[in-house]
Chain A
Amino acid sequence: MLFPLTLTLDFKQIVEGAIFLKKLNIQKFDFMHVVSSGLINTDTFQDVLQNAVEIIKQKTGYDASARMVEGHAASMIVYTAKDHDYNLIFIPAQNKSIMTRTFLGSTASDVIRMTDTPTLIYKNYSDKTTYWQTVVYATDFKVAATRAVPYIEFLGQVASKLVILHVGTRAADPGSENKRIDYIKEKFKDLKRDLEPYWREIFTFTGLGSPAGEIRSGMEKFNADLLVMGRGNKTILKKLIGSTAERVANSLETSVLLIP
């Protein structure tokens, strides 16, 4: 697992994040820090990073290593994850103001947009290090969403309640709408049956309209701790205005696991 970090991040939070990852059966992870190209004093950064890794190793007993690379942060994270076949990118999200997010974006958003590696945007970890109780699985029943199913099965070991959430658009006429509703019911039934062996409780929830908005209200309604969703191929429009995954990851106050 790849754990990109900034040296401005609260060190206590990094350690807590690392401890939390143990619950997910992570065996090994690499800390990574990206510095801007051309920075002269990289040795100092390397020393600070190495010290941090040593402390983390002592406190958590992890098999951990550290690497420092130069370049654009998000791009380097994405390339490193791809080149070294990491299973997961773990990004401890920093709270940025809405202005900063809108005009400058965030490394997390850039990584989500570019990567093909499953990514966990970890939020509020200082409050909820001990457990995840409710996980929401947002699905449109398409291929991209189906890729998240093995992760959902696994998460049944660390959380107790699963909410399967579907956000659709209303069909163009009442007859087609009824058919759409029947189809969703059928899909919910199949999915519930497949996931029942892994979870104690499974609920379903449907929404109509803006996927990002409906996912947010579903998350609030069930007081969920984690959102899991697949991320499909990007259309030109989505490249321009950002995908649902990006919008949700930016606006939710809970953690988000995105499966490309």
Chain B
Amino acid sequence: MKNNVVFIFSLIIVLFFVLLGILNAELLDNVSNTLHASIIDNFGWIYHLAIFVFFIFCIYLAFGRYGNLKLGEDHEKPQYSYFGWFSMLFAAGMGIGLVFWGVAEPLSHYLHPPAHIAEASGDAAAFAMRYSFFHWGLQPWAVYIIMSLSLAYFSYRRKMPPVISSCFYPILGKRIYQTPGHIINTLAVLATIFGVATSLGLGAMQIGAGLNFLYGLTNSIEIIILIIAVVTVFFLFSSLIGVTKGIQTLSKLNMLLAFILLLFMLMIGPTAYIINVFISSLGEYVSGLLEMGLQTYPFQGYDWTKSWTMFYWAWWISWSPFVGLFVARISRGRTIKEFILGTLLVPSLLTFFWFSVFGGTALHLELEQGVNIAHIAVNDVSTVLFYMFASFPLGNVLSIVAVVLLFIFIITSADSATFVLGMMTSNGNLNPPANKKIIWGLTQSSLAAVLLVSGGLVALQQMAIAAALPFTLIMFLMCHTLLRALRDEIK
């Protein structure tokens, strides 16, 4: 029992939410709506400021005097090649979301920007691209870096168990093995399982929408549950065969497919236009980093900031225990500088290019060719990608590739999550027991399926976001403890 406190308590709480979702989805919806709205209304600015501080902190660590310290023993070499490492980083951190939002987000901002920008205008398009970069770029990765760097440092350099509570030893001492530590770890498990179950459900819905678009297959609950079941079998299998064989292989395959899709779209799409979108948005993004980092539009359209920017910040923070642990797991042997710059720059640049290719192409269709695609993005986020492909030669092939990509992205996300949940609930065992991985895998899939049926999936997403508030505080403390430990070491 003592070794399984986090496991048992997390499981009980998750089961409570499953039951609540089945028995009274409306209550779950009301509670989560109220909680989510009041947190974003009153504490949204904390997220905004926190993300900015985390970003600055990462820059300081990368270029400061701790940059050459290794996440591991001084003689250790990185476990994974750059390609393997970047592939896994990208797949775990952004993957599925990019397929989902790569087209939809720029189009949504273009059609509904904040009040001070004219809707559906050139300015709105430039704003849309800049803010899509902002929401998916350096700042989210800075959040992940805080979590993963702390975990990797305390685990590999300080030889502590790779669980989040270990990062608090400088403050809590031996209490990390008692109730305070258990609370932190349980919160991390809950944020992870709620977040991944939501993504699993939403991802399965998009695959369903794709299949419906391609083959006219009814986009019914039964089909989506079937998709979840198939995904579950795959990710459990991948999870059980380990990180190197399972997740790494799938991530590399994913990267390859994503790269092919990206390149193909770049070639058949408006290439020069896409490149122009990329460089001009990148320029605007870089020059506006400070302004966007602190701008919440209190006078011009705060509602827009709340529903987009602050939602994203909370979402990334709630995902950070999962992505952080996973990224820490795959980053052993890298120096702090290499880790921060690699994690910050490479996935961000890839993301920017992805948005430029897919979002830029969609904006080209809308602005230059008069295809009314933005309204589709606003009305049905999950199908807009397929509508866009339909405007190009071999559109069906592209859609099939996108569905496969989505399918593998879901598998890699769920696979990494199962692995991380297993680790978190077995006191940081780097090779968590198979039974725990199976239990968590089945739990997250059934949670997604049950809440999809009862209509509580969005409520669950909002609960995950609510967990971001305590996690923001936890992350600030992590910055403090990490800095303290690094200072101690240099001394």
Enumerate chain A interface residues (CB-CB to B < 8 A).
169-177, 208
Is there contact, CB below 8 Å, between A171 and B170? yes
Question: Out of A169, A173, A208, which one reaches B160, CB within 8 Å?
Answer: A173
Is there contact, CB below 8 Å, between B170 and A170? yes
Residues in B neighbouring A170, C-beta threshold 8 A: 169-171, 173
Residues in A neighbouring B159, C-beta threshold 8 A: 173, 175
In angstroms, Cα B286 to Cα A84, docked, is 58
Question: Out of A174, A176, A208, which one reaches B488, CB within 8 Å?
Answer: A176
Is there contact, CB below 8 Å, between B173 and A173? no
Is B484 engaged at the interface, CB distance under 8 Å to the other chain?
A: yes
Is there contact, CB below 8 Å, between A174 and B484? no
Is B154 engaged at the interface, CB distance under 8 Å to the other chain?
A: yes
Is there contact, CB below 8 Å, between B173 and A172? no
Is B253 engaged at the interface, CB distance under 8 Å to the other chain?
A: no
Beyond the given A172-B154, A172-B484, A175-B158, could you list 17 further A-B residue pairs with CB under 8 A, ordered by the A residue number?
A169-B170, A169-B484, A170-B171, A170-B173, A172-B170, A172-B485, A172-B489, A173-B154, A173-B158, A173-B159, A173-B160, A173-B485, A174-B169, A174-B174, A175-B159, A176-B488, A177-B169
The closest CB in chain A to the CB of B488 belongs to A172
The closest CB in chain A to the CB of B160 belongs to A173
In angstroms, Cα B338 to Cα A144, docked, is 38
In angstroms, Cα B484 to Cα A208, docked, is 14
Chain B 155-175, CB within 8 Å of chain A: the 1/0 string? 000111000000001110110
Q: By DSSP majority rule, is chain B's interface helix, strand, loop, or mixed?
A: helix
Report the number of A-B residue pairs with Cβ-Cβ less than 8 Å: 33
Is B443 engaged at the interface, CB distance under 8 Å to the other chain?
A: no
Is B219 engaged at the interface, CB distance under 8 Å to the other chain?
A: no
Is B481 engaged at the interface, CB distance under 8 Å to the other chain?
A: yes
In angstroms, Cα B487 to Cα A169, docked, is 12
Residues in B neighbouring A169, C-beta threshold 8 A: 170, 484
The closest CB in chain A to the CB of B176 belongs to A174
The closest CB in chain B to the CB of A173 belongs to B158
The closest CB in chain B to the CB of A208 belongs to B173
In angstroms, Cα B285 to Cα A56, docked, is 74
Closest 3 CB pairs of A and B: A172-B485, A173-B158, A172-B170
Is there contact, CB below 8 Å, between B158 and A177? no
In angstroms, Cα B157 to Cα A175, docked, is 12
Residues in A neighbouring B481, C-beta threshold 8 A: 172
Residues in A neighbouring B158, C-beta threshold 8 A: 172-173, 175-176
Chain B 17-29, CB within 8 Å of chain A: the 1/0 string? 0000000000000
- A to B CB contacts below 8 Å, 27 in the list: A169-B170, A170-B169, A170-B171, A170-B173, A171-B170, A171-B488, A172-B154, A172-B169, A172-B170, A172-B481, A172-B484, A172-B485, A172-B488, A172-B489, A173-B154, A173-B158, A173-B159, A173-B169, A173-B485, A174-B160, A174-B169, A174-B174, A175-B159, A176-B158, A176-B488, A177-B169, A208-B173
Is there contact, CB below 8 Å, between A177 and B173? yes
- Closest Cβ–Cβ distance, residue A196 to chain B (whole Å): 30
- Closest Cβ–Cβ distance, residue A49 to chain B (whole Å): 49
In angstroms, Cα B154 to Cα A32, docked, is 56
In angstroms, Cα B488 to Cα A175, docked, is 13
A169, A173, A175, A177: which has the most chain B beta carbons within 10 Å?
A: A173
Residues in A neighbouring B154, C-beta threshold 8 A: 172-173
In angstroms, Cα B205 to Cα A185, docked, is 63
Residues in A neighbouring B160, C-beta threshold 8 A: 173-174
In angstroms, Cα B159 to Cα A174, docked, is 9
Residues in B neighbouring A176, C-beta threshold 8 A: 158, 488
